[in-house]
Structure 1
Amino acid sequence: MNKLKFFVAALLMIVAGTASAQKTGYISVEQVISLMPETTRIDSLLRKYQSDSLNPQFTYMVQEYNRKDSMVSTKDSVKLSAQVKNQIRQELEGYAYQIQNWQQITQQALQGKQQELLEPIYRKVEAAIQGTAKENGYAYVLNREALIVVPPADDLLPLVAKKLNLKVPAAGAPAAAAAPRR
């Protein structure tokens, strides 16, 4: 029985020693994303998406609303059956709702498009972080934004930036514009 207790105690000491020897690092994923040259391209693609796709949709909805509203509010509306008038009024309610909530609809569409465009960049950054951690013996890598106190030596940003061929601004220099959140 004493041999078993000794064995368990020795095993626990070995496990504890191994666990304490594992390195833990941290990185700001958002900062890496903001350094990526693809981020600038994504910003311009989002602006183009808004001007080429979303703005014309809004213009079309307003035009359709006005056209259908004039169909039921002019003298000629007496020629329309009650069923047709009700259908047009229902369509008008739908257009009115979309027009009133256009800002929210646009924001959701832009966020969806942004997420679609950022997904490959996040995968690339994640692969670089995982590769860097493995190459440098880090068992755990935490997101910098979740930590309050961090030792500078465990910041993986310079190593990941090097792996991705990115230039990290000097500590006192202003960083690139923050990348949009997913």
Structure 2
Amino acid sequence: MPESRQIESDLKAYSSQLEAQLKSKYADYQAKAEAYQKGASTMTEVVRADKEKELTGLQNSIQEFQRSADQSLQQKQQTLLKPALDKLQKTIDAVADENGYTYVLNSDGASPVLLHGPKEGDISDLVLKKMGVTPGAAPAAKAAPATTPAATPVSTPTKTKTKSKK
């Protein structure tokens, strides 16, 4: 899709910003750690404890920033991909309806992925009940079957199968 290049570019730029901020935090930490190591022998116990506490705080801050940055990058990816995935799904649905397809599968991967199917054919709630899970209680378990995962690049399905009469 034409949008994929722009999405990749935006994600790369955002990732680069986050990496630059992380490098800056880490450089600050390294500078303070080196200063501490050089002057530790001449510091009083109170000053040394304060510097150690500061270094521990910086380490924690760096770790928290990394977690937050990863989460932020995933959220940015989902936000950028959503319009393209929605457009792709609408196109798949339209092509399926126009050509009388009941089900459309993407068979590029190891196991086929349902790209289009009738809503009344969705048995997810029945499967969840049989497993002892209350439908709706675990929204992550019932993902929209017609989209590709956010972590994969956006591409149009190259192989589609199955045509059945309605």
Superposition TM-score, scaled by structure 2 size: 0.51
2:22 alignment partner, one of 42, 58, 61: 58
Does residue 1:143 correspond to 2:93, yes or no?
no
Structure with more contact order per residue of length (Cα contacts < 8 Å, sep ≥ 6): 1
Aligned to 1:121: 84
Distance 2:68 2:108 in 1: 29
- Structure 2 letter corresponding to 1:64: D
- Structure 2 letter corresponding to 1:68: K
- CA deviation after TM superposition for structure 1 residue 128, in Å: 1.1
Structure showing greater radius of gyration is: 1
Aligned to 2:152: 181
The number of residues matched between the two structures is 115
Superposition TM-score, scaled by structure 1 size: 0.47
Distance 1:129 1:96 in 2: 44
Q: How does 1:69-108 map to 2 (within 5 A)?
A: 69-70=33-34, 72-75=36-39, 77-78=43-44, 80-81=46-47, 84-94=50-60
- CA deviation after TM superposition for structure 1 residue 107, in Å: 6.6
Q: Please, which runs of 5 or more residues in structure 1 have no aligned partner?
A: 1-35, 149-179
Distance change (3 Å), C-alpha of 1:71 and 1:91: farther
- CA deviation after TM superposition for structure 1 residue 134, in Å: 1.5
Q: Please state whether the residue corresponding to 2:103 is helix, strand or coil.
A: strand
- CA deviation after TM superposition for structure 1 residue 68, in Å: 2.9
- The percent of aligned pairs where both chains have the same amino acid is 30
The structure with more helix, counted as a fraction of residues = 1
**Any conservation in 2 of the 1:68–1:92 contact (CA below 8 Å)?**
no
Q: Please state whether the residue corresponding to 1:145 is helix, strand or coil.
A: coil
